[in-house]
Amino acid sequence: MKVNKLVLGTVQFGCQYGINSVGQPNVQMVSEILDVANNVGVTILDTSAAYGNAEEVLGEVNASNIFQIISKYPKCNKTVRDTLDDSLKSLGCSKLYGYLLHHFSVYTENKTVWNDFIQLKVDGKVEKIGFSLYEPYELDMILNDDIPFDLIQIPFNIFDRQFESYFGRLKQMNVEIHVRSTFLQGLFFKDRDTLPEKLLPLKPYLKRLDEYAKDTGLSVAEIALNYNIQNPYIDGVLIGVDTKDQLQTNFKSVSDKRVDLSIDVKETELLKPVNWN
């Protein structure tokens, strides 16, 4: 049971997120979710200055006393240092486990911004620095630029394996790999017969996922979650929840039953939720 790979995402704590979201939980609900997370062995929370008031909510419930926290620097008018200081103040802590560049355009527009991240690490403000990426070309760029980084967060799931070919190299570099979009932002649970027209090309792949679930006796959630958890290169698997019951369900979905399934989606542009609208 590799429950310790679970990383709890907190975007839902600060704003409405995901196509199946039941709504932003209040502070009491967040406290209850974090109690469950702590009890089941989650040690890392993922947040960002761009996630509404998520950092303030985490600070209100003293999350940094229990969990290691990764936050992110979004595209904004403030410096990296000032934004981190604001995050630390909101979170009520003096340093972070990880600090990531949230929007890659910040790097492409001014590559010297990375020096600010390096300085934060030198100053002991953060333990690990890195990037939150969406496209392989972004990773190609920082690798070609020989940028030193410790942590990376990328989309990866049973449909979307575009970064898989980089895993071996990243491990050789001692980079910690965290993956998000394990459930493709809730698409895996969407009613197959009421998919928006734009997502209809994905229906055959979802049906194949359903067939595998029927054949193995595993739920779609168990298949998707364990597919990521069982990957030996992956260090952290992000999940987001609206309620403590959802988290408990996810926890119970972690099993040692091997997931042996490969689904190659041709319509790769539909694997990016930004293209769903």
The class of domain 3-275 in CATH terms is alpha beta
How far are the Cα atoms of 81, 93, 107 from residue 125, in angstroms, in the given order?
10, 10, 20
Is 262 a residue whose pLDDT tops 90?
no
147: nearest Cα among 110, 184, 118, 177: 118
Separation between Cα atoms, residue 152 and residue 166, nearest integer Å = 11
Is 106 a residue whose pLDDT tops 60?
yes
The percent of the chain in helix, strand and coil, each rounded to the nearest 5, is 50, 15, 40
By percentage, how much of the chain surpasses pLDDT 70? 97
The answer to whether the pTM exceeds 0.85 is yes
Is 16 a residue whose pLDDT tops 80?
no
Mean pLDDT of 124-142: 98
Model confidence band, residue 23 (pLDDT cutoffs 50, 70, 90): confident
Is-contact 249 183, C-beta < 8 A?
Answer: no
Q: For 178-237, how does the pLDDT look when each residue is reduced to its tens digit (9 = 90+)?
A: 999 999 988 999 999 999 999 999 999 999 999 999 999 999 999 999 999 999 999 999
By percentage, how much of the chain surpasses pLDDT 90? 88
**pLDDT at position 20, please?**
44
Is-contact 178 238, C-beta < 8 A?
Answer: yes
Separation between Cα atoms, residue 106 and residue 151, nearest integer Å = 17
Model confidence band, residue 22 (pLDDT cutoffs 50, 70, 90): low
Is-contact 150 117, C-beta < 8 A?
Answer: no
Is 252 a residue whose pLDDT tops 80?
yes
Q: For 143-183, how does the pLDDT look when each residue is reduced to its tens digit (9 = 90+)?
A: 999 999 999 999 999 999 999 999 999 999 999 999 999 99
Amino acid letter, 144: N
Separation between Cα atoms, residue 223 and residue 229, nearest integer Å = 10
